Chains A and B, each alone.
Chain A
Amino acid sequence: MMKNKASIVIIGGGVIGCSAAYNLSKRGLKDIVLVEKKFLASGATGRCGAGIRQQWGTRQNCFLAKKSMEIFENFRDYVDTKIDIELKQKGYLLLAYSDKEVDQFEKNIFIQHEYGIPSRILEPEESLEIVPFLNIEKLKAAAFCPTDGHANPFHVTAAYAEAAKKNGVTILKDTEVLGINKSKGRITGVETSKGLIETEKVLNAAGSWAREIGKMAGLDLPVFSERHEILVTEPVNSILDPMVMSFSYNIYCQQSPHGSFIMGYGPENEGHNHRINSSCNFLENMSKKATWLLPPLKKLRIVRQWAGSYNISPDKQPIVCESEELAGFYMAIGFSGHGFMLSPAIGIYLTDLILKEEPPFDITVDLGRFERRETISEPSVV
């Protein structure tokens, strides 16, 4: 039976939508409906690199990342789930290839320490204690945070979704949003492929389709989608502890607890579109990059490659707010590749926003920041 009335319709069954649904239901909101076009984590969440990083360069990102990691660390109790999220905390090793990059890392670490993030600078030789087979040619220094790591995005999303369902949230899969109805400047309902859901509130958590959902409500949201490719190898014995990452060399590579290596890099000259096909070009470049940095990988077999969409905002930082143009239209969009790792804290922030409570954290993530010229200058993004 289709639920035709909701206190809020959450659009998108990725980790952000599911985290919001869970947190809202935990705080007592009833009649929440989450609508997903395909299945849970079918978009960017389920296509991501599965890393969780706390090494950021702005105060609010350090705060959100630390808060999120605390929740990942206590996920079973926090979300009351039996699902194992496969948390691995063996660190992120960030590689610096110029003096400027080293300076930046030092500045970042200063801020990270204010939030209790246990990061530190390593000399190239010290990096070898963490990754013995790392190619340290041209390496100036590295930043390392031992509590950064990995979790399984499918399992995290499923845990949030199942706990939300237990709290009474209705999750409609295979249900596409076709339109958002308004009357006298207020939202009145969401048209879906399975019928109309009457509601006064909508949360746009549509990931790569966030802009299109905005258009349905008559809003021009400043986000676009961009293809990012990724590949995975066969599982092997554990040989790589941390996520190895470099902004300047442009790579990330980690070994999941399952044993497979997951890796990717930021693309150049990608258009703004919804393409998610895989390319030979990526396969070749990725192979060159990864095996130069981590030579033993040469012997590993690549078993799959795929791609997903980053939803990117003008400052590559998330937009999480209620629309000033349309009351009741909330958005959590433009995560620019960092939605999964921030999803626990964002779910809490959204809940207070939607329940009109005092915001629990002092952060600037609203849409108005672009007009006010208060964009966030986060140095640590790919």
Chain B
Amino acid sequence: MMKEDNIIVCRCEDVTLKDIRELIKRGYTNIEEIKRITRCGMGPCQGKNCGQIILREISMITGIPVEKLTLQRYRPPFGGIKFSEVLGENNDEK
């Protein structure tokens, strides 16, 4: 069995399973709260990796069925976009 602090839940922001479990036990049982404190879901993937895992953890600790929980809100622009792209400038860097 891998150690909780060796399991990365959020690859954008390097958040471990241990971090998540500790926060839930401290009373942060809403994924939006966990996002704000750990930045899970604030990276380029917007929670597509960590979201489901966090919901499962919240469900296991609080007993609330996972289908009653909602994912983090996705924010525009829904994927990284460079300022130069917004400005319509050519992007020489690929």
Contact = CB atoms under 8 A, between A and B. Distances in A.
Interface of A: 38-42, 46, 154-155, 158, 162, 173, 232, 234, 258, 278, 283-284, 287-288, 290-291, 297-306
Given A287-B83, A287-B86, A299-B93, A304 B75 contact: yes
B33 A39 contact: yes
Given A162-B26, A283-B76, A301 B82 contact: yes
Given A283-B76, A297-B83, A154 B37 contact: yes
Given A299-B82, A300-B82, A302-B82, 12 more contacts: A38-B32, A39-B30, A42-B32, A46-B36, A283-B86, A284-B86, A298-B83, A298-B89, A301-B81, A301-B82, A304-B76, A305-B77
A155 B81 CA distance: 28
Given A39-B33, A42-B32, A284-B86, A234 B80 contact: yes
Contacts of A46: 36
A85 to B, nearest CB: 12
B44 interface: yes
Nearest to A282: B76
* Dominant secondary structure at the B interface: loop
Contact of A278 (B43, B44, B76, B84): B76
Contacts of A291: 83-84, 87
Contacts of A305: 75-77
A86 to B, nearest CB: 11
B93 to A, nearest CB: 7
Contact of A154 (B30, B36, B44): B36
A290 B83 contact: yes
* Dominant secondary structure at the A interface: mixed
Contact of A234 (B37, B44, B76): B44
Given A155-B37, A258-B39, A278-B76, A299 B44 contact: no
Contacts of A154: 36-37
Contacts of A301: 44, 80-82
B15 interface: no
B8 interface: no
Interface magnitude class on chain B: 20 to 34
Nearest to A158: B37
A301 B86 CA distance: 10
Given A234-B80, A287-B86, A297-B83, A303 B43 contact: yes
Contacts of B32: 38-39, 42
Contacts of B43: 234, 303
Nearest to B81: A302
B42 A304 contact: yes
Contacts of B77: 283, 302-305
B69 to A, nearest CB: 13
Nearest to B35: A154
Those 3 A-B pairs whose CB atoms lie nearest each other, nearest first:
A301-B80, A304-B75, A287-B86
Given A283-B76, A302-B77, A41 B82 contact: no
A303 B83 contact: no
A308 to B, nearest CB: 12
A83 to B, nearest CB: 9
A44 to B, nearest CB: 13
Which one of B26, B36, B75, B81 has the greatest number of beta carbons of chain A within 10 Å?
B36
A83 B75 CA distance: 27
25 contacts: A39-B30, A39-B32, A40-B33, A41-B36, A154-B36, A158-B37, A234-B43, A234-B80, A283-B76, A284-B86, A287-B87, A291-B87, A297-B83, A298-B83, A298-B87, A300-B83, A302-B81, A302-B82, A303-B43, A303-B77, A303-B80, A304-B75, A305-B75, A305-B76, A306-B75
A198 to B, nearest CB: 25
Given A40-B33, A46-B36, A304-B42, A299 B80 contact: no
Contacts of A158: 37
Nearest to A300: B83
Nearest to B33: A39
Which one of B86, B87, B89 has the greatest number of beta carbons of chain A within 10 Å?
B86
